[in-house]
Amino acid sequence: MNDQLIDALEWRYATKKYDSAFELDPKDKATLEQVLQLTPSSYGLQPLHYIWLEDQKLLEQTKNLAWNQQQITEAAAVLVLCTLTTLNSTYLNAHIDLTRDTRSMQEEQIQGFRAHLHTAVATKPDHEIRLWNDKQAYIALGQLLTACALLKLDATPMEGFDPNALDELLALEEKGLHSVLICTIGKRAENDRYQHLKKVRRPIKSLFTTR
């Protein structure tokens, strides 16, 4: 397993050119959806929503506001990772209710957590909530990239786009959402020269200390 994991991470790279004839297997797509569902988040709040962009016109328009990155129209799948713009008390209560019911708990057993969440989260200013939620999207992205690599799917993480313009294009604000990241998924084109480049990483020794 250890070698398999490292081999997959060495194999993956931020793909620049895709084989546009490749289609994502529905089974792989379903697995990736489960991977994203299983992503951890602070307090388990999952302030996330994912949009598979399939409409050709929307894909073209998205590419236009993403520095014309060709992956958006050539990859087999394009996923927009969005976050919730608020975490109001209705949302918090729904999350605690779900936790209570999923784990067959009594309300008394969870009321401390309910009170804590309302104090810790509901009192945060909006801009802090947005920043905090956006961080959760990066966790999901990391998990998605590793999963793609293990499934031998190529992927490109992207923050090279105008998120406000994408929010407007997809009418996200009225849905209480904000676009944070895009991830394209598919199969590398044979002539994508980036697949042959050596990985540039700082030495492990410089990344860790033990204290």
Ligand X SMILES: Cc1cc2nc3c(=O)[nH]c(=O)nc-3n(C[C@H](O)[C@H](O)[C@H](O)COP(=O)(O)O)c2cc1C
Using alpha carbons, list the distances in angstroms from residue 94 to 22, 33, 37, 115, 117.
40, 22, 17, 13, 12
Q: Which of 118, 133, 192, 147 is nearest to 35 (CA)?
A: 147
DSSP output for 137-157: HHHHHHHHHHHHHHTT-EEEE
Among 46, 83, 156, 179, binds ligand X (CB under 6 A): 156
Minimum CB separation from ligand X for residue 152, in Å? 16
Q: Residue 114 and residue 89: Cα distance in Å, rounded?
A: 10
* Residue 162 interacting with ligand X (CB under 6 A): no
Locate 22 and state its tokens: 């490749």
* Residue 160 interacting with ligand X (CB under 6 A): yes
- Of 11-19, 42-50, 110-118, 171-179, the segment contacting ligand X by CB under 6 A is 11-19
* Residue 14 interacting with ligand X (CB under 6 A): yes
Q: Between residue 53 and residue 82, which ones bind ligand X under the rule CB under 6 A? A: 69
Minimum CB separation from ligand X for residue 10, in Å? 9
- Of 10-18, 50-58, 89-97, 103-111, the segment contacting ligand X by CB under 6 A is 10-18
User: Between residues 14 and 131, which has the closer beta carbon with respect to ligand X?
Assistant: 14
Among 49, 157, 162, 176, binds ligand X (CB under 6 A): 157
Minimum CB separation from ligand X for residue 31, in Å? 21
User: Between residues 117 and 184, which has the closer beta carbon with respect to ligand X?
Assistant: 184
Contact 89, 200 (CB under 8 A): no
User: Between residues 95 and 188, which has the closer beta carbon with respect to ligand X?
Assistant: 188
Q: Which of 53, 16, 25 is nearest to 148 (CA)?
A: 25
Strands 177-186 and 154-158: antiparallel
* Residue 5 interacting with ligand X (CB under 6 A): no
Among 80, 147, 158, 177, binds ligand X (CB under 6 A): 158
- The interaxial angle of helices 126-150 and 26-37, nearest 10 deg, is 140
Task: Give residues in contact with ligand X (CB under 6 A).
Answer: 13-14, 16, 69, 156-160, 199
